[in-house]
Amino acid sequence: MKRVEVLAIILAFTIYNSSNAQNKKAQDQEAIKEMCGCFEVTFNFTETFNYSNDSLYRPSETKVDKGLEYAFAIEDDADKISIQHLLQVGRPDSPYIVKHWRQDWLFQNQDFYMYNGDNNWTYEKKSKDDVKGQWTQKVFQVDDSPRYEGSGTWVHVDGKDYWENTTTAPLPRREYTKRSDYNITLRGNRHEITNFGWVHDQDNEKVVRVAGSEDVILAKEKGYNTYKRVDESRCQASIDWWKVQHDKWASVRAKWADIYGRNKDLTLEEKVDNKVLFKYLLDDEITAEKEINSIIESFVK
C-alpha cells in the first residue's frame, strides 16, 4: 500500500472518531438538559442494612417527601451546563420559594474537591486520561458552598440514558441534625432520563472515618427520587422569584468560583457568630457584593 493511501486511511479514521466523539458529546448535553423543567418530585429514603455492633442501634426512619421543583440552566456552554433547582412549597396560589441545590456538569474536568469529613474538602487534580470523555457533576448546597462531586461517562444504550458515579459527601440535611454516629456518606449516584422526566437513584453507605484507620461502614441506605415533568406554568412563581434574585446569586457564585479557583484544600467553619452560612445568604437584606464576599470569606478557614 502506498504511503499516500495509508495517510488517507489514517485521516479518514481520525475524522470518523472525531465525528463520533462530537455526536456522543451532543447526546450527553441533551441528556443533562433533560433534567431542566418543572417537576413533581418524590424523595424516598430508607435504611436497608446496618452493621453496628451496638445493640441499641436505631436505624434512620424511612422518609418520603413530595414537592414541586423548578430546575433551569443558568449556564449552557460547550463544556459546562449549570442547573439551579428551586423548591416551591406552600399553597399553590401563594407559594414560598426556597433556593435549593445546584448541579454543575463539566466536560473533562480535572479539578476536584473531595469531601473528607469534618467540613473539609481535599483538592485533587486528575489527569486528562482519567477524565477523557467524562462529565463531572459538582453538587452545591443551598448557599452554593461545596457538597460533593464525581466524574463519570454518560451511557446511551438500549434506549437508556444514564450517568453513574460513587463519591464521598457530607451527611444529608435530613440526617446531620439527628445523627452523629457517622461522618461521611458514600454516595452511589445514578441519574437516568426517563419518559416521564428523570430519576435520581442512590445506593449509599453511612461511613465512619477516623484519621489513620480504615473506614467502617455503619449502614447502607437506598434513595429513589423521581422527577415527573409537569407543565412549566405550575412553576411560574419560581420563575418570577429568580428574576428578582439572580443578580445576588451570581455574586455568590462568583465569590465561590474565586475560592475554588485557589485549587487547595478547603475547610469551612460550621458557624460564624453562632450562625450557619445559609442563614446569612438566604437573608433578603443581604444583596451587596462586598457584604456577600465578606460573609463567605469569614467561613473559609
Q: From the first residue on, what is the mean pLDDT of each consecutive set of 10 residues in the chain (301 residues)?
A: 58 53 94 98 97 94 96 98 97 93 98 97 98 98 98 97 98 92 98 98 98 96 98 97 98 98 97 97 97 98 95
Q: What is the pLDDT of residue 20?
A: 72
State the pTM of this model.
0.92
Q: What is the pLDDT of residue 1?
A: 66
Whether residue 218 contacts residue 181, with contact meaning beta carbons closer than 8 Å, is answered with yes
**CA 96 and chain centroid, separation:** 23
Whether residue 43 contacts residue 225, with contact meaning beta carbons closer than 8 Å, is answered with yes
3-state secondary structure of 46: strand
Q: What is the pLDDT of residue 138?
A: 98
Q: How far apart are CA 189 and CA 202, in angstroms?
A: 5
Q: Which bin fits 228, alpha (ψ -120 to 50), beta or left (φ > 0)?
A: beta
